[in-house]
Structure formats: C-alpha cells, structure tokens
Structure 1
Amino acid sequence: MHRRRRTALVLTAAIAAAAPALTACGNDAHPGAAAVVGGQRITVSQLESRVGEVREAQRAAVSDETQYQQVVASTGGLTRDTLHNMVLDRVLHRAAREEGITVTRKEIQGMRTDLEKQAGGTKGLETAWLQKYGIAPARLDENLRLQLEAQKLAAKLGTDTSQPPFWKALSKASAELHVDLNPRYGSWDVQKSSRVDAKTPWVREVTTATAGQPITT
C-alpha cells in the first residue's frame, strides 16, 4: 500500500467512506471481535457503532436523501478504514508510550484552535474532517490526539511520518501487540502497520439497504 495511504489519518491521507455489510460473522479464535490488539478486543459492535457515527454525521451534513445516497455511493471503504484507524490508534499509542511521549488536553485544544482558524471555525473544521477523513465531529479531538502523538514520535526519532524510522517504530509496536484482524476485514501487515485485504472470495459484500442505519453483520 502506498505510504501516504498507510499514514491513514495521522497527517495527510484522505480516507474514503462507505457502509458495506458483510455476511460472515466472526472468526473461530475471537468470535464477535473485529480485531484483537494487545489482547484487547475491538468488537464488531464497537466498529459498527463508530461507522454509524460517521453515517449519522454525513446524513446531517446534506440537505436531502439523494445527496446522502450520493455520498454513500461515491465512497467505498468506511468499515475497513475505520477499523484500520482504530487499530492504528492503539499501535501508535503503544509506540509513543515506549518513547515516553504524552499528549495533554491543552495541546489538543491548541491544535484544534489553530485548525479552526484555518477552516473558518468549528463547523468548518468538523465538516473538513468528516469529508476528508471520515471522522465524526464527536471523534475529532480523539483524532487530533492521534496526530499529535504521531508528530511527537517522529520528532523524537529525528524524522517525519513519511520516513522509514517512523514506520519501523510502528512496526515494532504492531509486533508487540500481536494485532489479529477478523479475516472478513483482511489482515494486519506488521511491517507496514497497515490493514491489507485478504483474498477470501467466500466473503460476500452487500450494500446497506437502509440509509442512515449502522451496518449489520
């Protein structure tokens, strides 16, 4: 996967959004889990809830049903991208913690204030993050923490988020956390710290029929 894509929401990558529902239900090792990271489960229910938050925000941002359906139809990976970011968040947090990096509430607010000025206010920033990165307004501060951790980690390593030393640190954290994805969502590439699609033709995707509802499995 292209490095800019692997960066996900850390700094610059634009995440496409959609709401596919999958007919497979869990794996044998971790039934009901979308992923297990460091022995902790990210449940399918948690993933669905996060996707539902984005869908609700997208629905509220457009004026009619036709526009909303166009938003859904024009994007194609919200569920998997959301899981990718939920896992990457934990991986990055582990890597940052190992370097003694912390992020304060004041730092998050400072970053948000600066971004709001650039975006023309709170609403402008929330809209930009929703459209570009698939981040619901309620998760904006959480994502800014992720970005600050990435920036601080890169600085501590004397590099930036596009360079091998940064991704080597994430790879190390991925290996330590033993990331295990439910096969329906692909697999986790430890070296790239990225979700990759698995070649599983027996998994059938269907499009969510009812607009505005969380995905079902």
Structure 2
Amino acid sequence: MHRRRTALVLTAAIAAAAPLLTACGSDAHPGAAAVVGGQRITVAQLESRVDEVRRAQRAAVPDETQYQQVVSSTSTLTRDTLHNMVLDRVLHRAAKDASVTVTRKEIQQMRGELERQAGGGKGLETAWLQKYGIAPARLDDNLRLQLEAQKLAARLGTDTSRPAFWKALSKASEELHVDLNPRYGSWDVQKSSRVDAGTPWVREVTTAGGEPVTA
C-alpha cells in the first residue's frame, strides 16, 4: 500500500499544472518544445504524445459530448505532457548520478501489484489515463519513473515529498540546462517544475476531428 501511495503522489505531482508564475524562456531552438541535456524534444514529438492520450481518451469515451467534456477538463494536456517528458529525463539523470537503476522485472512486479489493486490491467490503464493523462502505451515508462523516484529517494535516505529528493532533481536540472520553448512556459530549476507562461496567444483547442492543436 505504501508503494501505491508513493506512486500516486509522484504521478499526481508530474501531471498537475505548475503554479502560475511569471515565465521567461529562450527561442533559440526553433521547432523544439524543449531542450534537455543538449537533446531536443521536438514539437512533433510532443504533439505525438498528446495525440496518443487523445486517441486513448476517445476510445474510452466514444460519446461525443462526454469526450468533449474530457477534453475540456484536460485543457492543459499539452503543457503537462511536456512537463512529464522533461521531468522523466531530469529524474533519470538524478538517478544515474546516484547509481540507481530499474530493471524490467521490477517494472513488471510493480505493474502486477497495481493491476491487482485496480481490478486488472484494463482498470489500471483507465485509472492512469483518467487521473494522470498517461496513455496505456506509456504506462510502463511511467512506472519506471515511479520506481526511479522511489529508489533515488531511498538512496538519499528520504522520500519523494522531502526537500532532499527535490534538491537532487534541481541539481540534475542544472546539469542538463533545461530550456523550454516560451510558448510552453519555462523550467524552474530549483523546483524541477514547469512555470506556466502568461501568454494569452497560447491556446489549446480541439479541431472538428477531435485532434488537439495549439494556436
């Protein structure tokens, strides 16, 4: 039960929108949603991830009216997804710095435990999709993230809610020189979190075909 609570807390932290603060950023990387450790997360890669979630949501909620309600309730999906993608790399760097590794067997064991608690694999996939915007195809990746966080915290003699854990992520953020495209906000190195940009021209809307676009 403790492992489940830890996973849920961390996933919620990843999926939740960051505080609304004044943002800054660099537009030195055209076509990139973010640059982490010198590697680009392209806008196309980000949009592909968002499309995965929207397709999964559409499959889970075939009724058009209900689907539009789901879209409306997840209007920050694009920025939250980018936050998730960046944090994944930051956490992986922090874990690597601490010589923390996660095996495929550990991921499967964790998934098995969570599936039993959720009433099966489909129940777990639905819960992660509805609560955290994680597409079923990305579930194992997210569980690896949870395990890396747990093992990193244990290595540091703390837990994922304590300052020592987030200090390690801040250090990794500094090492990786995280740079977000200003349309998605900026990255708070100290908090390892996205800062939403106050730019009214950034809107997340849905086309007639149900696919999300940014304008």
CA 9–30 in structure 1, closer or farther in 2 if over 3 Å, else same: farther
For 1:15, the equivalent position in structure 2 comes to 15
Question: Would the aligned equivalents of 1:175 and 1:190 in 2 still touch at CA under 8 Å?
Answer: yes
Question: Would the aligned equivalents of 2:32 and 2:41 in 1 still touch at CA under 8 Å?
Answer: yes
Single out whichever of 96-105 and 71-80 deviates more from structure 2.
Answer: 71-80
For 1:184, the equivalent position in structure 2 comes to 183
**C-alpha separation between the residues in 1 aligned to 2:198 and 2:136?**
34
2:195 matches 1:196 = yes
Taking only aligned residues, the RMSD between alpha carbons, in angstroms, comes to 2.1
For 1:23, the equivalent position in structure 2 comes to none
The count of corresponding residues between Structure 1 and Structure 2 is 202
For 1:81, the equivalent position in structure 2 comes to 80
CA offsets 1:113-171 (integer angstroms, 9 cap, x no match): 00000000000000000001000000000000000000000000000000000000000
CA 111–103 in structure 1, closer or farther in 2 if over 3 Å, else same: same
CA 14–61 in structure 1, closer or farther in 2 if over 3 Å, else same: farther
For 1:92, the equivalent position in structure 2 comes to 91
2:66 matches 1:67 = yes
CA 211–57 in structure 1, closer or farther in 2 if over 3 Å, else same: same
For 2:205, the equivalent position in structure 1 comes to 207
User: Could you state the TM-score of these two structures normalised by the residue count of structure 1?
Assistant: 0.87
**C-alpha separation between the residues in 1 aligned to 2:11 and 2:50?**
21
CA 180–8 in structure 1, closer or farther in 2 if over 3 Å, else same: farther
3-state SS of paired residue (2:148): helix
Pairing 1:35-184 to 2, within 5 Å after superposition: 35-184=34-183
**C-alpha separation between the residues in 2 aligned to 1:104 and 1:86?**
20
Question: Would the aligned equivalents of 2:203 and 2:214 in 1 still touch at CA under 8 Å?
Answer: no
CA offsets 1:58-106 (integer angstroms, 9 cap, x no match): 0000131111011112232100000000000000000000000000000
Question: Would the aligned equivalents of 1:8 and 1:15 in 2 still touch at CA under 8 Å?
Answer: no
CA 153–107 in structure 1, closer or farther in 2 if over 3 Å, else same: same
**C-alpha separation between the residues in 2 aligned to 1:67 and 1:199?**
29
For 1:4, the equivalent position in structure 2 comes to none
Per-residue deviation at 1:209? Answer: 2.5
Question: Would the aligned equivalents of 1:157 and 1:165 in 2 still touch at CA under 8 Å?
Answer: yes
CA 163–9 in structure 1, closer or farther in 2 if over 3 Å, else same: closer
- Unpaired segments of 5 or more residues in structure 1? 1-6, 18-26
Question: Which amino acid counterpart does residue 15 of structure 1 have in structure 2?
Answer: A
Higher share of residues assigned helix: 2
Question: Would the aligned equivalents of 2:37 and 2:177 in 1 still touch at CA under 8 Å?
Answer: yes
Question: Which amino acid counterpart does residue 152 of structure 2 have in structure 1?
Answer: L
For 1:24, the equivalent position in structure 2 comes to none
**C-alpha separation between the residues in 2 aligned to 1:9 and 1:141?**
17
CA offsets 1:170-197 (integer angstroms, 9 cap, x no match): 0000000000000000000000000001
- Unpaired segments of 5 or more residues in structure 2? 1-6, 18-25
Report sequence identity in percent.
Answer: 79
